[in-house]
Amino acid sequence: MVILVLNCGSSSAKYQVYDWDARDVLAVGVVEKVTFPGSWIEHKAKGKADFTLKQDCPNHTDAVNLIIKTLTDKEHGVISDMAAIKVVGHRVVQGGEKFTKSVIITPEVLKTINEVKDLAPLHNPANIMGIEAAQKVLPGIPHCAIMDTAWHQTMPETSYLYAAPYEWYTKYAARRYGFHGTSFLYVTKRASVLLGKDSSKINLIICHIGNGASINAVKNGVSFDTSMGLTPLEGLVMGTRSGDMDPALPFYIMSKTGMKPAEMETALNKKSGLLGITEKYTDRRDVQTAADAGDKHAALAQEIEAYRLRKYIGSYFAALEGNVDALIFTAGVGEFASAMRAKFCQGLEKLGFVLDAEKNNLARTRNTESYISADSSPLPVMVIPTDEELVMTEDAHALLEGSYDVHTKFKYSFEDKVYVNKARAAGLEKDLSKNPALKKIIAQPK
């Protein structure tokens, strides 16, 4: 059985193809610049050379068609024809309060996703376009929605309500929703295995740090609090998003400049964060290079980002009443940027998080889960590479088979102590051949 998962953005369409019977990834890729001239596909298939092709995709239907064409290509493809695909999983950023778990997409489900698109204006419309496009290209098979927000529906009112007029919540569903749910679910389940803890009793602070970034307090195996809010704009300093600020600041700037609400929304979502401070960079690698070269704005951006995250770690430590089993980093920056992890953990020793500099520097691979804390650290600090696509794949398969349920009543394959990600295991062998010292940090199930 072949399962396709799609993550469609406003101008991109990411995909992964998974062979369920072999429990292995067959291909991954992305179509970039969808709806713009000069679109192209980047395709990586198991056992084959990487493939890139320029082809204009004026809309998402064209992008999905290009993906299918590539997947079934005699030279670069991994399946004989579209009939091999039995179910499609779609990432949906915002499900509102309507969904506490993944669902098979029906006209009613799609209508509900469309109704809450105002809560994620930069994401949900693109997700919907991707769903509708895939349904046209792959009709007659189930399409499933995997909601970013579903994981956070366990948060108590004290975590998700704003101290604003209550009718804003009852009339307009204005509340904190949180995002990166599939990532936090995966990392929580893997941490339970690695730490030898019951997944219903584990308490964690998880930092998902990529271009978009959020932090999650996990209490007794479920989401208790998270930094993103009504939209993905709230919380941490991100690549182009401001994160937390005085709500009066936008009004002040609008009064001074004459900016309109749509222009301010664009400024806060696409021109702020690291880009706003450095005036040049969004990629952490570029920021690090510039800071190393003496760029004061780049160095300042790093310090502001690290300081904001440390404050959240401290507040979530308090929210969990000090009952924390581990501090975990994941996503692109969390998995690779050892220099930033060091800044994030600076001064947290009194909370019990003591970093080991050598281990931290070694942990720059997606092919292993690792400990980066000192042996003497009262609490472990870990790097657990996320796998959102696997969560989407397993949800879609279970929905197809009729065995799916909310995560507290459903067991994923990666919750098993003997679980192995074949692609990552092969990658780790290559990593170890180049750097045997990696053995020092590999985390094994307890």
The order of strands in the sheet holding 24-32 is 51-54, 40-45, 24-32, 12-19, 2-8, 85-92, 143-147, 103-104
In CATH terms, are 2-147 and 199-383 the same topology? yes
What is the spatial distance between Cα 348 and Cα 350, in angstroms, rounded to a whole number? 6
pLDDT value, residue 36: 85
DSSP string, 258-313: ---HHHHHHHHHHS-HHHHHHSS--SHHHHHHHHHTT-HHHHHHHHHHHHHHHHHH
Task: Enter the tokens of residue 238.
Answer: 């991100």
What is the spatial distance between Cα 295 and Cα 240, in angstroms, rounded to a whole number? 18
Neighbours of 375 (CB within 10 A): 8
Task: Enter the tokens of residue 318.
Answer: 């308090």
Neighbours of 72 (CB within 10 A): 17
Please report, for the chain, the start and end positions of each structural domain, with discontinuous segments joined by +.
Answer: 2-147, 199-383
What is the spatial distance between Cα 211 and Cα 146, in angstroms, rounded to a whole number? 21
Question: 199-383 falls under which CATH superfamily?
Answer: ATPase, nucleotide binding domain (3.30.420.40)
pLDDT tens per residue, the chain (446 residues)?
999 999 887 778 899 999 999 999 999 999 988 888 899 999 999 889 999 999 999 988 889 899 999 999 999 999 988 889 999 999 998 888 889 899 999 999 999 998 888 777 777 888 888 899 889 888 999 999 999 999 999 999 999 999 999 999 999 999 999 999 999 999 999 999 999 999 999 999 999 999 889 999 999 999 999 999 999 899 999 999 999 999 999 999 999 999 999 999 999 998 999 999 999 998 889 999 999 999 999 999 999 999 999 999 999 999 999 999 999 999 999 999 999 999 999 999 999 999 999 999 999 999 999 999 999 999 999 999 999 999 999 999 999 999 999 999 999 999 999 999 988 999 999 999 999 999 999 999 98
pLDDT value, residue 312: 98
**The one catalytic residue among 50, 73, 81, 148:** 148
3-state secondary structure (DSSP) of residue 446:
coil
pLDDT value, residue 59: 86
Asked if residues 70 and 41 have their Cβ atoms less than 8 Å apart, the reply is yes
DSSP string, 347-359: T-GGGTB-B-HHH
Asked if residues 158 and 212 have their Cβ atoms less than 8 Å apart, the reply is no
pLDDT value, residue 144: 97
Task: Enter the tokens of residue 51.
Answer: 């493939």
pLDDT value, residue 417: 94
- Of 140, 142, 139, the C-alpha closest to 64 is 139
What value, to the nearest 5°, has the Cα angle with vertex 162 and ends 109 and 249?
110
**What is the DSSP pairing of strand 204-209 with strand 213-219?**
antiparallel
**Can you name the CATH fold of 2-147?**
Nucleotidyltransferase; domain 5 (3.30.420)
What is the spatial distance between Cα 244 and Cα 260, in angstroms, rounded to a whole number? 20
**Catalytic annotation present for 148:** yes
